[in-house]
């Protein structure tokens, strides 16, 4: 019996081992008929920055780097992956993905300080980390959520990215696709916001809910004013009502002044920021973006800490199919009542890479090894 356990441990250790021969990046820009609008900028196409890692035995894994803004910055991040991260880890031996993540983080520490680019570098590292986890899960023959200890393959979801124009049309399409929870963007002027929120709230069917995202668009005073009228409509949360660097007393004051739960965290850049909110609890829903910071290696422990502290972990994701799949596996593994963010704006490549199995507001993850994404579609991008 003891020998059997030892063998299993050795097998697991071998599967977790990281010894890369190649790290590649490819940027895919998918045309759209309707630009995606936020309160801070417009996307005229949908960029997806893919990462592919290959190990010494030829097994490959795929990752994705957040790269939406600035629009010109996606190409730069692709170069960061191939010229700054790849050469620092290829040919080196790591006992497991977390050790490799720590090495990437340490090796790029000075460059991060020197360039003043902690964000792009963190995003590039996150994409490589996702690819490495996909690779080790494939080697283990397990879907990633199960490798990470998930007890379920079903997670609740919400439709995200609902633009301020054509709100009810977008909601109808999302509902037809299986969504039951809908997140509207606000911060486009008082009257537009009031009209849209009232229309969405009136359109909901029994059992449906709605959420709001201001994308850091309000000052503390504006956020307080908006939440006074928003409260009556009962949204599930208001996301990023103020800039992420607003001081903590202002967050505490806003939270004390409203019954609307507050969400945020997609723009935190360090473990310390998540730890501070886990302790201070000025947010109710906390939203790390796995392709923007931390990958699986850092976001899983952060998410589990949040759940343990009584906060709700809800993955942020507005990108391609790998980022969405990775967020789903992480949510299943982290536990808690959080919802998966599913962008409903047009993005054919995202849908091809990871076709959601969505029914009545719930996503079911497949049993395919790794992220369970469409590898043929990804290979075309690297051809
Ligand atoms: Mg957001």
Tokens of 43: 């996307």
With beta carbons less than 8 A apart as the criterion, state whether 350 and 321 touch. yes
Give the domain extent around 114: 10-141
Specify if 15 maps to a domain.
yes
Q: What is the pLDDT of residues 281-297, one digit of tens each?
A: 999 999 999 999 999 99
Nearest to 354 by CA among 91, 292, 343: 343
* Overall pTM > 0.75: yes
Say which DSSP state 94 is in: B
Residue with tokens 């959520």: 145
Q: Are residues 162 and 253 in the same domain?
A: yes
CA 288–ligand 1 middle distance (angstroms):
10
Amino acid 11: pLDDT: 56
Pairing mode, strands 238-239 and 209-213:
parallel
What percentage of the chain's residues is helix, strand, coil (to nearest 5)?
Answer: 45, 20, 35
Q: Are residues 157 and 215 in the same domain?
A: yes
Q: Starting at the earlier edge strand, list the strands of the sheet with 60-65.
A: 20-37, 42-55, 60-65
With H, G, I as helix, E, B as strand and everything else as coil, classify residue 253.
Answer: helix
Q: Are residues 209 and 230 in the same domain?
A: yes
CA 55–ligand 1 middle distance (angstroms):
35
Residues in Cβ contact with 147 at an 8 Å cutoff, skipping those fewer than 6 apart: 133, 136, 137, 140
CA 129–ligand 1 middle distance (angstroms):
23
CA 87–ligand 1 middle distance (angstroms):
33
- For 369, phi then psi, to 5°, come to -60, 150
Domain boundary among 125, 141, 157: 141
Question: pLDDT digit of tens for each residue in the chain (383 aa)?
Answer: 333 333 345 556 668 999 999 999 999 999 999 888 776 778 899 999 999 999 999 999 999 999 999 999 999 999 999 999 999 999 999 999 999 999 999 999 999 999 999 999 999 999 999 999 999 999 999 999 999 999 999 999 999 999 999 999 999 999 999 999 999 999 999 999 999 999 999 999 999 999 999 999 999 999 999 999 999 999 999 999 999 999 999 999 999 999 999 999 999 999 999 999 999 999 999 999 999 999 999 999 999 999 999 999 999 999 999 999 999 999 999 999 999 999 999 999 999 999 999 999 999 999 999 999 999 999 999 99
CA 212–ligand 1 middle distance (angstroms):
9
Residues in Cβ contact with 186 at an 8 Å cutoff, skipping those fewer than 6 apart: 39, 164, 193, 196, 197, 212, 213, 214, 217, 226
With beta carbons less than 8 A apart as the criterion, state whether 60 and 20 touch. no
Domain boundary among 80, 106, 141: 141
First to last CA, the chain: 47
Domain count, the chain: 2
CA 316–ligand 1 middle distance (angstroms):
7
Amino acid 10: pLDDT: 54
Indicate which CATH number applies to the domain containing 49: 3.30.390.10
Amino acid 15: pLDDT: 81
CA 266–ligand 1 middle distance (angstroms):
7
CA 86–ligand 1 middle distance (angstroms):
30
- C-alpha 36/C-alpha 341 separation (Å) is 16
With beta carbons less than 8 A apart as the criterion, state whether 200 and 210 touch. yes
Q: Are residues 17 and 154 in the same domain?
A: no
- How many residues appear in the chain? 383
Q: Are residues 346 and 227 in the same domain?
A: yes
CA 184–ligand 1 middle distance (angstroms):
10
- For 50, phi then psi, to 5°, come to -90, 145
Return the H-helix or E-strand segment holding 78. Answer: helix 73-79
CA 14–ligand 1 middle distance (angstroms):
38
Nearest to 297 by CA among 16, 8, 11: 16
Q: Are residues 208 and 186 in the same domain?
A: yes
CA 241–ligand 1 middle distance (angstroms):
10
Tokens of 236: 């599930």
With H, G, I as helix, E, B as strand and everything else as coil, classify residue 216.
Answer: coil
- C-alpha 195/C-alpha 217 separation (Å) is 18
Amino acid 7: pLDDT: 39
CA 331–ligand 1 middle distance (angstroms):
17
CA 239–ligand 1 middle distance (angstroms):
6
Say which DSSP state 70 is in: S
With beta carbons less than 8 A apart as the criterion, state whether 168 and 181 touch. no
CA 2–ligand 1 middle distance (angstroms):
49
CA dihedral 221, 223, 226, 228 (to 10 degrees): -80
CA 15–ligand 1 middle distance (angstroms):
35
Specify if 5 maps to a domain.
no
Specify if 4 maps to a domain.
no
- C-alpha 52/C-alpha 379 separation (Å) is 9
Domain boundary among 141, 158, 188: 141
Q: Are residues 122 and 162 in the same domain?
A: no
């Amino acid at each position: 019996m003891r020998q059997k356990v030892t063998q299993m441990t050795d097998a697991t250790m071998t599967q977790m081992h990281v010894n890369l021969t190649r790290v590649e990046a490819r940027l895919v820009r998918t045309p759209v008929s309707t630009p995606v609008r936020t309160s801070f900028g417009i996307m005229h196409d949908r960029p997806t920055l893919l990462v592919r890692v290959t190990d010494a035995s030829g097994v490959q894994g795929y990752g994705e780097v957040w790269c939406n803004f600035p629009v010109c910055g996606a190409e730069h991040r692709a170069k960061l992956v191939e010229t700054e991260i790849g050469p620092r880890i290829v040919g080196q031996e790591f006992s497991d993905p977390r050790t490799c993540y720590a090495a990437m983080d340490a090796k790029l520490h000075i460059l991060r300080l020197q360039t003043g680019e902690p964000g792009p570098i963190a995003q590039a590292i996150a994409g490589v980390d996702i690819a490495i986890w996909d690779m080790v899960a494939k080697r283990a023959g397990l879907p990633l959520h199960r490798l990470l200890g998930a007890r379920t393959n079903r997670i609740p979801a919400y439709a995200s990215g609902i633009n301020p124009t054509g709100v009810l049309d977008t909601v109808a399409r999302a509902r037809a696709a299986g969504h039951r929870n809908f997140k509207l963007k606000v911060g486009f002027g008082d009257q537009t916001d009031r009209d849209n929120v009232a229309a969405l709230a009136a359109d909901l069917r029994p059992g449906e809910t709605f959420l709001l995202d201001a994308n850091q668009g309000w000052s503390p005073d504006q956020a307080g004013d908006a939440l006074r009228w928003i409260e009556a409509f009962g949204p599930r949360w208001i996301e990023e009502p103020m800039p992420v660097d607003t001081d903590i007393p202002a967050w505490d004051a806003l939270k004390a002044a409203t019954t609307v739960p507050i969400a945020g965290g997609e723009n935190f850049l360090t473990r310390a920021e998540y730890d501070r909110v886990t302790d201070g609890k000025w947010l109710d829903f906390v939203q790390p973006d796995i392709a923007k910071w931390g990958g699986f290696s850092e976001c899983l422990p952060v998410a589990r800490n949040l759940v343990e502290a009584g906060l709700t972990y809800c993955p942020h994701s507005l990108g391609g199919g790998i980022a969405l799949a990775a967020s789903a596996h992480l949510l299943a593994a982290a536990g808690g009542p959080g919802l998966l963010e599913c962008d409903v704006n047009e993005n054919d490549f995202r849908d091809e890479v990871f076709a959601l199995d969505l029914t009545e507001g719930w996503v079911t993850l497949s049993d395919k090894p790794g992220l369970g994404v469409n590898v043929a579609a990804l290979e075309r991008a690297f051809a």
